[in-house]
Structures are given as C-alpha cells and as structure tokens.
Amino acid sequence: MSASVAVAADANSQLSPEAGNTNIKSAETTGFLMRAGRWNPKQQKVIIENVPIPQPGPNQFLVKLASASLCHSDIMAIDAGQTATLGHEGAGFIESIHPSAEGKGFEVGDKIGFLYIIGCCFEYAVVDYPNCIKLPESIDVKTAAPIFCAGITAFHAVDSSELAAGDWLAIVGAGGLGQIATQIAKARGVKVVAIDINDDTLEVCKQQGADQVYNSKTNKNYIDELKQLTTGGCKAACVFSNAQAAYAGVPPILRLGGVMMIVGLPHDNVPISTMDLALGRYKVKSESTSIPKRMKKAVDFLGEHRIQPEVQLRKLEDLNDMVNEMRAGTATKRMLVAF
C-alpha cells in the first residue's frame, strides 16, 4: 500500500471504535457530518453512526458516493474482529479536488469508480486520484460499485484463462463474481458451464447466458454430464467460491492442459496434486482486482458490452441484515447500498 493510499484508508476507516466518538484521527474534516455503517465487534452488529466528512489530502478527491456494496472481504474483516466501516466497492461523483490533484484529467462532478478504499458504506470518501477512473456513459454510477472489486476481478480471471471463442469455461461459484464472469465470457464468445450448490444463483447465471448449469450437491452425475457436453472437459475453470469442496471438484472437469484459475480464498490451503502439475494434467493460475493500471481494460470492456452486475438495492440501515445474509449464503445477487 502506497503512502497516499494509506492516508486514504486511514481517513476512511480509522474512526474511533467507540460508538458516538466522531473523531477522525488522520485527516482534517469539513465540519459537516455523514452517516457511516460500521461493524462494532463488542456489539457484534453494524452500527449506523454520524461521523465527520473528511477533506481530501494531497493527491486526493472527496467523492460523494452514489453506490457501495459488500464483498467477502468485509466478512473477513469482521471475522478478524476489526472495527471498520464496511464496504470497499464504491462509485460516485467528485465533490472536491485537492490542489495537488488538479490537472490530472478529472473535474468536479465527474462520475468515477475507484480501487483500494477501505470503507465505502458511508456518504463520502477520500480517494487517491491514481486509483480512480472515469465511468463511461454506458455504466450507471448508481449500480457500478460492484465493478470495482468483483467486476474487475472477474474480468481479469476470464481474460487470463487462455480462452478462445468457442472454448468451454466452468464458472465454479455462481455468486456475484461468477455472475459477472458469465456475462464477460459470453461477450467473448466463450461457452459457459456454471456450477454451484444454490439453485437460485445458478438460475441467475442461466438468465445471463450460461449454456448449462449444474448443482454439484444434488446432481451426483454432473461431472460425467459436463464431460459429455464439453467433449472431454472445460478449457478453464474460474473458481470464485471459497469452499474447499469447490476446488476439489475442479481437476475432474478440466480437459488435459486446462487452467485452474484461483480467485476464491478458502480459510485453509487448497490441496494441489504436484504429480498432476508435473504431468501437465492442468496448470494453476490466480487473479485478483490487481493494480489500478490494469482496470481501464476491464472497465472499457464492461462499458462496451454494457455488462452490469446483478444487484439487490438496499438501504444503509439494512447493512446488518446484509451481513447476516452473506454469512448465511442466502444472497443471490450483489447487495448494494444506493445513496
């Protein structure tokens, strides 16, 4: 994390953990207040607090959030016992620009998305300008937040899976990332098989163009059916699930020399057969949101093909319910707070 990114992270997330204390330790404020949805580890729930609106520091913008969404990373922060403003996927409008960030290709009022912000579930954020990108007109800022983690990660995963038009791709984990990846793959002419244990999320992928979907829990013959459908297996499998069972099920569905693309992060290490790797049975690669310089290719592609995340619009006051639904695995779409 660069020094300027660290400043932004501090300004957005290092509020005093005591409820009601509204001091921001590392940034000056405008003197006005905003609402923030913060996880309180003592109370084990989300608390909506009034906190000061920060001022942008060197190389930063102040952004009025239009949308923010939850990610599995938020659950990881909660499990670590951290007091944090939830959400790191966000999009909005530039409200003000620090003098040092002027002349960098951005203007007040521009609609932007951004990376590397800890805590988006509040009404304003300070953002490091190199981590920002203008949104094309085809992308709605009020539903764009999931692009700036889930969408970019899904794009990198599909883009790096060594696929050509007509190849078969397995989407393992049909949640938010898997749903976006399905749209991306279909826009590239790739055939898609979605695999999950949730029929509702599989149905969303089917609606987005997946050629076939399999419930790996209820369909005991899905591997044989998949191999018959794909004439021997998929060229690649993007694993968006964090379940060990999801990773264990990948080698049997890959054709010889296929790609296992690691994206989901299980709590324990993923067992990989060194013999399979040595024999070229399959190869292992991995992708993430990555660095800001790579996001333009992803955003341009999503805008060109009008790919939008499947979202469920919620209110800031719903954050605690949203966290519970993520934990229970009942969410079928990306849950998004619109401001």
Q: How far is CA 134 from the centre of its chain?
A: 18
User: For residue 81, is it left (φ>0), alpha (ψ between -120 and 50) or beta?
Assistant: left
The domains of the chain, with CATH numbers, are 3-149+290-338 (3.90.180.10), 150-286 (3.40.50.720)
Q: Any idea what DSSP says for residue 305?
A: T
Is 336 or 284 the better-scoring residue by pLDDT?
284
Least confident of 83-92, 199-208, 269-278: 83-92
Q: What is the layout of strands, in order, in the sheet containing 191-196? A: 212-215, 191-196, 168-172, 234-239, 254-262, 282-286
Residue 194 pLDDT greater than 50, yes or no: yes
Residue 88 pLDDT greater than 60, yes or no: yes
Is 212 or 35 the better-scoring residue by pLDDT?
212
Residue 255 makes CB contacts below 8 A (sequence gap 6+) with: 230, 232, 233, 234, 235
Cβ–Cβ under 8 Å, residues 335 and 87: no
Distance CA 259, CA 229 (A): 18
**Residue range 23-76, pLDDT digits in tens:** 333 346 556 889 888 888 889 998 898 989 989 999 999 999 999 888 877 887
Pairing of strands 191-196, 212-215: parallel
Residue 269 makes CB contacts below 8 A (sequence gap 6+) with: none
Mean pLDDT along residues 320-339: 85
Is 10 or 224 the better-scoring residue by pLDDT?
224
Nearest CA to 122 out of 32, 1, 25 is that of: 32
Half-sphere CA count of 335, side-chain side, radius 13 A: 25
As to burial, measured by CB atoms within 10 angstroms (0-12 exposed, 13-18 middle, 19+ buried), residue 35 is middle
% of the chain surpassing 70 pLDDT:
89
| Residue 86 confidence class, pLDDT cut points 50, 70, 90 | confident
User: For residue 306, is it left (φ>0), alpha (ψ between -120 and 50) or beta?
Assistant: left
**Residue range 92-132, pLDDT digits in tens:** 999 999 999 999 999 999 999 998 666 666 889 999 999 99
| Residue 327 confidence class, pLDDT cut points 50, 70, 90 | confident
Q: Which two tokens stand for residue 190?
A: 């790739």
**How many Å from the N-terminal Cα to the C-terminal Cα in the chain?**
28
The three-class DSSP label of residue 215 is: strand
Mean pLDDT along residues 272-300: 95
Mean pLDDT (the chain, rounded): 87
Residue 192 makes CB contacts below 8 A (sequence gap 6+) with: 168, 169, 170, 171, 182, 185, 186, 205, 209, 210, 211, 212
Least confident of 75-79, 183-187, 222-226, 304-308: 75-79
Task: Give Cα separations from 261 to 162, 253, 258, 301 (angstroms).
Answer: 10, 13, 10, 20
